[in-house]
Structure 1
Amino acid sequence: MIEDTNVTAKEYRKMQKFLLLIAGCIAIDQTLLSVVILLALLMGLQVAWKERSVPQLRVWPRHLKWLLLLLLATGYVSLHNPLVTHPFDCTFNFFYVVGQYVSVVWLVTRFGNCFAGKSRFAKPAPYEEGLPFWKIFMRQPFPVRMLRVLGWVAVVSVLIGIGQHYFGGATDALWVDREANPLLRNRVFSSWENPNIFSGYLCIVAAYIMGYIGVEKNSRKRWGMFGILLLVILCEVFTFSRGFWVAMAVEVLAFVLVFYRKGILYLLGVALAGAALAGPAVWQRLNTLRHVTEDSSAAMRLAYLEIAQAVVEDHPLGIGWYNYRYVFPEYDFYFKNPDVIMYHCHNLFLNVAAELGIPGLILFLCAWFSMLYLAVKLARKARFLWARAFAAGYLLMSLGVTIGGIGDHVLFNVRMGVLFWLLNALLVVIWHFNRFASE
């Protein structure tokens, strides 16, 4: 069959290396990520064309697949909304942004589902003691390899953020209300566009670290991951993003209450140590939550929510993908300046409802709830500990994104969006892996 399709194991391995490269580029640079996705897509289409006569396994549950296709169709149809006054800009953004999401989901599904007994090529070899690290890495299931790459790059990103705080490079001019926070000098953002996006990214990273801490049996490895988690939380503090501070706190609390109850004492110790070591700038930032409307940043976000609510009430069927920035001036009662560009409403769910309408929001939530259902099933009954850990991480990530999404829409960032949909695709691939892979 391999000779009939002219597809070789080497081409499949190359495709998987492209996918690993995509995972590595997410936390580095948007342009680089887009180029790598494009190259991977071109090669993937070429391989898929050669294999067009070969029946493919159905990886996605049928109902979930249709939900996502309907959501995709809703986004495309929204481009033809009469309210869209800049059709070229909105259409270009749709294909550029959503095109990357769809490409990553398809590539991971098509070439990342190689597992023992179900692939003609990439069957993981038996584990052997004493092998070099690289050979051990290449013998692991593909989802594990991709998670490792995501983890390695995340550690580098965290170290860059901590370095910005202690050695310079963090912002000292933007995203800081000096009147309400006179002691706040800088906010780290690492390789991301701004501190709030970086803070959302750290919540995702912390969620998966906690998922793996919960299943790790080796004490030394578990303490190592715990140390990395502390670095992530420290970097989260240095972003001074209050919304994601709350999201991170909720994630950690959910972790110790649901997945790792013996960690409650550790949590109390870390909380006490953090309270003792927190600097005056941290306490001042927390104190602003008592008088939210006196902080310009918080006051603006409350205004954004009112504006977005008005948009949804006036246009329950949506205003069109990427059209929020063009409709915003009509509803702007806060800035009252048509030159102010607002790309999104700083609320994940209101933003989806505003652009894609209430039907689009329902489709998005139904698809997400279906993913959460798969994650719950994996967290309870997965045959592999690493699959159970991934499921726990996905559940914690979803909780953090939901809490953080109330005050910000970090998934508007293309790299964050790619990461989100990549993790969704990995969840489905792992769910499929767990059903059919040999022990």
Structure 2
Amino acid sequence: MNPWQQITLSALPLYRWRGSSYLHRLVGPLQAWRKRSVFMQWADPIGAALLGTVFGLTPFVSSDLAGVLLFACGCYWALLTVSDDRGFDSEQKAVLGSGFTPIHLMVSLYWGVATIAAAMSPVKKLAFTGWSKLTLYVLLFALAARVLRSSRLRSWLISLYLHVALLMSVYGIHQQFFGAEALATWVDPESPNAEVVRVYSFLGNPNLLAGYLLPAIALSVAAIFAWRSWVPKLLAITMTIVNFMCLYYTGSRGGWIGLVVLMLTLLILLLYWWSAALPRFWRIWALPIALGTIAGLFILAVVLIPQLRYRVSSIFAGRGDSSNNFRLNVWTSVVQMIQDYPVLGIGPGDPPFKKIYPLYQRARFSALSAYSILLEVAVETGIIGLFAFLWLLLVTFSQGFVQLKRLRQLGDRDGFWLIGIIGALAAMLGHGLVDTVLYRPAVNTLWWLTIGLIASFYTYQPRLDSPLVES
């Protein structure tokens, strides 16, 4: 096992842990009941239906109701776990697939650090509230990773999300052309774009809508290649165009940054997927030509569209832009909080942040979050939690590439879904670097779904080479 495999846990034989772990003995005590139960014969489809309810309703319901749906998913995952009737006592069975993956291990580590951070928090009651929310999202991940190992159920859930996102985008475009009430001051009143409509669809926040649509764009592009017949492909093309238009109309600069990350990720992974079949010239020059074309089109759009030109230039305006200035002041205060609580932070979730941040905030710069996912993780769970979070991301992306390599060798069209999922996770991370929409239920559920989907592709490969050295 080389150092890269050790860091990313790529060749970790988890099936051996399953056979010897005392904790794993909690799995399956109700096996006999499950075998006799008619209800549990449909266990995975029922789990997928629960997930479908979450992703079908979360954008339209209150956070409290979303929490109830997440709690139901957690309870059902617990029921599946205690009645698990699948054993993995040999390497042969482990190679075919296991419910526990390196991604599960890293999620457990991050959750464990958050648990300790909540116990050590200066505002323990509020931290327990935030920890409870994180636990619900982790259970959503666990259920998704378990029941979506079925290609059919995975495709069904992705299709459901794409149709819901299409509805969100259509309503957002309707707001663009027929007007939308400004629910907050989304644009600097002194800017040239002060009168521009920023759509928010059913979510009430254009930045939140942008975060919701990034995975939709990634997966609708993937659907163009994954769906087989022409009618579904035309639907996927329509979804891509509509979602892209709606994302543009949000005016979310963080969303646009995420879109750039998404386009680069999809481009690189799609070229990797087809590289074996390309002539030598295109294997060498396809990526530079594609990047140059995209860059040229983007520059042309910035030159020709004044509103886009102003929004893009404002990204580099520093404190000259009110939104930038606000974030810089919030980040400065958050860094001071991290310096005072460096090891385990103030506790997970927004309740501790709302309580402690006013002690550090600068005048007129109140905030509900850190406006950066990395700073948010660091202030909530300290440097230890940030390390666990970054390790989780490294293992997740590494496992995604490892499984993509396997699907590419098999010629499995599910590889296109995996490309879209990896792109969605990268895009949300890019957006999250300058915003904290990931902590809203509509987007946070998608964040943990993408991680769960990557875990659902897992197949143990004991002699896997490092993905960094693959051609």
TM-score for both structures, normalised by structure 2:
0.75
Aligned partners of 1:166 and 1:244: how far apart in 2? 21
SS in structure 1 opposite 2:199?
Answer: coil
Q: Indicate yes or no: 2:436 matched with 1:399.
A: no
Q: Which residue among 71, 83, 89 is the counterpart of 1:38? A: 71
Q: 1:306 to 1:220 in 2, by over 3 A?
A: same
Q: Which residue among 54, 64, 88 is the counterpart of 2:103? A: 64
Q: Which residue among 115, 129, 134 is the counterpart of 1:76? A: 115
Aligned partners of 1:217 and 1:14: how far apart in 2? 26
Give the partner amino acid of 1:164. Answer: Q
| Equivalent residue, structure 1, for 2:222 | 211
Q: Which residue among 49, 74, 80 is the counterpart of 1:17? A: 49
Q: Indicate yes or no: 2:131 matched with 1:94.
A: yes
Q: 1:88 to 1:179 in 2, by over 3 A?
A: same
Q: Which moved more, 1:256-265 or 1:186-195?
A: 256-265
TM-score for both structures, normalised by structure 1:
0.80
| Equivalent residue, structure 2, for 1:388 | 415
Q: Which moved more, 1:145-154 or 1:207-216?
A: 207-216
Q: Which moved more, 1:144-153 or 1:20-29?
A: 20-29
Deviations 1:120-157 (A, max 9, x none): xxxxxxxxxxxxxxxxxxxx611111111111111111
The aligned runs of 1:298-309 (5 Å cut-off) are: 298-309=324-335
> How many pairs are equivalent?
400
- Identical positions, percent: 19
Q: 1:111 to 1:252 in 2, by over 3 A?
A: closer
Give the partner amino acid of 1:81. Answer: M
| Equivalent residue, structure 1, for 2:7 | none
Deviations 1:354-395 (A, max 9, x none): 110111111111112111111112222213644211221233
Q: 1:34 to 1:386 in 2, by over 3 A?
A: farther
- Residue pair 1:172, 1:187 contacting (<8 A) in 2 also: no
The aligned runs of 1:410-421 (5 Å cut-off) are: 410-421=437-448
Q: 1:424 to 1:153 in 2, by over 3 A?
A: same
- Residue pair 1:170, 1:189 contacting (<8 A) in 2 also: no
SS in structure 2 opposite 1:27?
Answer: helix
- Residue pair 1:170, 1:187 contacting (<8 A) in 2 also: no
SS in structure 2 opposite 1:354?
Answer: helix
Q: 1:43 to 1:331 in 2, by over 3 A?
A: closer
Q: CA RMSD in A?
A: 3.2
Give the drift of 1:216: 6.3
- Residue pair 1:104, 1:422 contacting (<8 A) in 2 also: yes
SS in structure 2 opposite 1:256?
Answer: helix
SS in structure 2 opposite 1:18?
Answer: helix
Deviations 1:184-206 (A, max 9, x none): 33211112241111112222222
- Residue pair 1:19, 1:108 contacting (<8 A) in 2 also: yes
Q: 1:175 to 1:55 in 2, by over 3 A?
A: same
Give the partner amino acid of 1:26. Answer: T
Give the drift of 1:253: 3.6
Aligned partners of 2:226 and 2:135: how far apart in 1? 36
Give the drift of 1:294: 1.9
| Equivalent residue, structure 1, for 2:280 | none
Q: Which moved more, 1:318-327 or 1:166-175?
A: 166-175
Q: Which moved more, 1:309-318 or 1:363-372?
A: 309-318
SS in structure 2 opposite 1:26?
Answer: helix
- Residue pair 1:158, 1:235 contacting (<8 A) in 2 also: yes
Q: Which moved more, 1:27-36 or 1:401-410?
A: 27-36
Give the partner amino acid of 1:412. Answer: Y
| Equivalent residue, structure 1, for 2:254 | 243
Q: 1:82 to 1:255 in 2, by over 3 A?
A: closer
Aligned partners of 2:340 and 2:400: how far apart in 1? 36
Q: Indicate yes or no: 2:322 matched with 1:296.
A: yes
> Unmatched 5+ residue regions in structure 1?
116-139
Q: 1:109 to 1:402 in 2, by over 3 A?
A: closer
Q: Which residue among 36, 46, 58 is the counterpart of 1:26? A: 58
Give the drift of 1:299: 0.5
> Unmatched 5+ residue regions in structure 2?
1-31, 89-96, 272-285, 463-471
Q: 1:13 to 1:2 in 2, by over 3 A?
A: farther
- Residue pair 2:121, 2:127 contacting (<8 A) in 1 also: no
- Residue pair 1:387, 1:434 contacting (<8 A) in 2 also: no
- Residue pair 1:216, 1:222 contacting (<8 A) in 2 also: yes
Q: Indicate yes or no: 2:199 matched with 1:167.
A: no
Q: Indicate yes or no: 2:141 matched with 1:105.
A: yes
Aligned partners of 1:82 and 1:17: how far apart in 2? 37
Q: Which residue among 361, 364, 387 is the counterpart of 1:335? A: 364
Q: Indicate yes or no: 2:43 matched with 1:6.
A: no
| Equivalent residue, structure 1, for 2:336 | 310
Give the partner amino acid of 1:22. Answer: V
Aligned partners of 1:432 and 1:193: how far apart in 2? 40
Aligned partners of 1:48 and 1:71: how far apart in 2? 21
Aligned partners of 2:60 and 2:208: how far apart in 1? 13
Q: Indicate yes or no: 2:398 matched with 1:366.
A: no
Give the drift of 1:159: 0.9
